[in-house]
Each structure stands twice: as structure tokens, then as C-alpha cells.
Amino acid sequence: MNWSDWNIDPARLADAFVYDPQAPLIFSSGLFVWLFAALAVVYLLLQRRTTARLLFVTAFSYYFYYKSSGMYFFLLAVVTVSDFLIARRMDRCALAWQRKAWVALSLVVNLGLLCYFKYTNFLGELWASVTGGTFTALDIFLPVGISFFTFQSLSYTIDVYRRQVKPLSCLLDYAFYVSFFPQLVAGPIVRARDFLPQIRRPLYVSPEMFGRGVFLIACGLFKKAVISDYISVNFVERVFANPSLYSGVENLLGVYGYALQIYCDFSGYSDMAIGLALLLGFHFNRNFDSPYRSASVTEFWRRWHISLSSWLRDYLYISLGGNRRGKLRQYLNLIITMFLGGLWHGASWNFVLWGMLHGVALALHKGWMQLAGRPKGWQSRGLRRWLGVVVTFHFVCFCWIFFRQAHFADAVTMLRQIAFSFHLELLPQLLAGYPAVFLLMLLGFVLHFLPDTWEQWGTKKVTALPLVGKAVLLVALIYVVIQIKSADVQPFIYFQF
């Protein structure tokens, strides 16, 4: 008997175990579908052997990360082992200064790794520009997801320092928490206090969990592989690459397209991550809540990338003093928090500007709310709310221009085209030239603004389907994805952060 008897190509089989930087393992790939199916079978066989099941999933998670970042998976192990040992040692310390020293060491390890891989060249260029010297950029590979798993591990050590979480006694449990593959490379950033109690619970997936998991995976796959990838490849990337070649109306629609693209891409990943976790018996908190329905920039950050915004609030904004040191200090803390939040997204001035714009907007909105005597959590109603939604959406879109464009000059060109070379008369021709793109954009925004009751209805309908019906739904969606996908793999946008 040989490989040909089974119709198996040994070379292609070997490729599944070798890192390919041109084809990272992502949820929307065919390889992942087969791998997850195999994982599910073994996972069910080990359902009553908790330690073996945790070890198996941890090993798969490391393989998943290797397929995304190659040999840099060892960084994940370094962060895991160091923070596990630091937390245990810190918990034994009685003196406050000793505990501070250990949590400071955790900050040095995690932020040191993050700074080296993400900010070395940026800081080197900045220093060279200040001193008038020269700097040759180093060839440093940015490991996928390093911003996420370092923040996740930091939340554990900080919570142990604050005595909000007891340190784990088993390294396997902590390795499982840090490396759990659904959220490993692009979030959500899962808090230890939410996830650790679930690790050793008996495996149980209720019909509601299974149905919601399938629904979220289907929604995420549709958002990412159908809407986001298609409008990106066929329109958005072209406009942002050469804004001067397009009229203002094309640039504006390109900005609207990017706003939808990044939402569908990132929320699609989050939906699939939450859905996969549910199928494995674990609960993640929601990471997106229809952010473009926000009537203020403050509300937007309660709905967009919720795990990061809440992390920045709890571990940075509050640590800076929050609102406890006067109004001016509160506004400054908001700006500093968003400045660092922008820098977290990338070592580039465009991300810094993006963060600063949002920080100033948050401070201005907070000041206006205080001057108007509005209570915390107050929301406008009726026409005022709709006007707030329109203004907030366009402010967010304005900021997305600087987020997306790597060069400030290109962002200015895009704004200049919109302001001074709009040419609305080209709109009919544009719509006729890209019918599928704009139909998908319209569909995406319509689905986004539907009431939450529609999502609840969809979840119930999918949950009520028999197992065969759920399988047919996913197979049909995969068929649609295959029909419209581009030739090249389209990694998730937040893989680069």
C-alpha cells in the first residue's frame, strides 16, 4: 500500500505542517475547516479526561500559532511561563513594594517584547530625526497577535497584583488560557477573571450554545469572506492606493467602503472566535455591538473592539487616575489613553494621529456632557440621536482615512479630492461600473443597522435547525465564499496589529 492508494499527495500533506508566510492559517481557509473537524472529533473523545483535553487543545493552539507566525511561537511560551511564575511569586509576597517589583517585571517582559518587535524601527527613525543622524531599519518580523496575547497575559498579572484573581497552580491551565486558538491572534482580549473559572468545568455544550456558535460562525464568515474581502479587493484598495486618480465621490465611497470593510473583517473574526469557543464549551464576551449606530464617540468606543477599549480603561485610564483628579486631568487621561491606544495599533504616525483625534473627541464630548449637566450614560432620542449617529459616523470615517493611509500626504490628497473635486455627476456611472461592490456595501450597512431583535430571531432559527440543517447552512455559505473569493489569501486586517 502507498499514498496513491489513498489518493493523498504527501507533499500537500506535509505543507499542512509547515509555516507558509504567504498562506497563514485563518478561520476562513479550507485547511482550517478540516483541521477543526478533526480537532472536534478528538475533543469529544476526551470530554471526560479534562487534563488530556486541555493538553490536546493547547498543542493545537501552538500549532495554529506556528502556522500564523512560524518559529516565533516560542514568544508565546516565553510570555506564558514568565507570567505564570511571576504571578505565583507575587502572590507569596506580603510587602507592597515586593508585589510592585514583580508586576513591574511582568510589564518589562511583555512590553519589552512588544516594543522590540513593534517599535524598534519607529523609535530608531524618531531618534535619528531628532538628533539629525541616520538610521537603517532593522529586518524585524512582527509576530502575528503579539499585541493581543501580551495584553491578555498582562491583565492576568495585574489582576493578581490587585488581588482580583488568585494565581493558578497549574502551568497547563495558564498555557491553555493564553494560547486558546479562537482568540489567540486577533482577540477578543479575554480577561483571566472571566475565562479561568471555565477551564476545569465539565465539558457541556447546550443546544443554545451550539446553535449560537453556528450562527456566529456563519455571520462572521459572511462578513469577512463575502463582504469585506470582495469590496476590498475590487474597490477600496484601488481607491486608497491612488486617491488622486479618482474623483471626490469615488474617494468618499472608498472611505465608506473601508469603514464597512474593517468592521466586517474584524467583527467577522470576533464572531467566528466567539462561535468556535461556544462549540468547544467556552464563553467569550461580545467584542462588537453595531458601533456605527453610535450617537457619540464615547458610545462608539463602548461598541467598537470592546475588549480593547475596556482593557485600556481598566488598566491604563484608571491607572493614570481616571476621573479622580479633576476635570482637566480626566480630559488629559482620555487623550493619553487614546494616544497609546493608537500606538498599540502600529508604530506609525498615522496611528498616533488616529488615536489623538479620538482622544480629543472623547475629551470634548466628556466636557460637553459635564457642562450640559448630562448624567453618566445619558443618550439622546429621536431626531437628535439620528443627527448624532450621522455626525459620529462621519467623524469615525474621517479618522479611518488616517488609520488606513500609511502616508499623511495620501490622506490629505484623499480629503482634497472629496472637498474640491467631488463630481457627483459621476455617481450613476460609478454605480453601473461596480454593481456587486455597491450592492454588498448596501447590504452590509443595512444588516448593520437592523435592530438587535433580528439577530436574536436569526439565532433562534439556526438553533432550531436539525444538525443536518446547520451543516447545509455552512456548506452553502462556504460554496458562496468559494464562488466570489479572490485568488490570494486575504488575511484579517488585525493580524498586522
- Cα–Cα–Cα angle for 10, 37, 178, nearest 5°? 100
Amino acid occupying residue 433: G
3-state secondary structure 243-289: HHHCCHHHHHHHHHHHHHHHHHHHHHHHHHHHHHHHHCCCCCCCCCC
- CB proximity list for 133: less than 8 A, separation 6 or greater: 127
Question: How many C-beta neighbours within 10 Å does residue 125 have?
Answer: 15
CA distance 178 to 288: 21
CA distance 111 to 271: 28
Within the chain, how many helices (H) and strands (E) appear?
Answer: 22, 0
Cβ atoms of residues 495 and 145 within 8 Å? yes
Amino acid occupying residue 23: A
- Cα–Cα–Cα angle for 228, 69, 352, nearest 5°? 60
CA distance 247 to 132: 39
The single residue of 345, 365, 407, 448 carrying the catalytic annotation is 345
Is 423 part of the annotated catalytic residue set?
no
Q: What is the number of residues in the chain? A: 497
Give, in order, the Cα–Cα distances in Å from 167 to each of 90, 93, 102, 155, 388. 9, 13, 13, 12, 45
Residue 466 preceded by cis peptide, ω within 30: no
Closest by CA position to 361, among listed 390, 391, 383, 384: 391
Closest by CA position to 187, among listed 116, 258, 284: 284
Cite the active site residues: 345
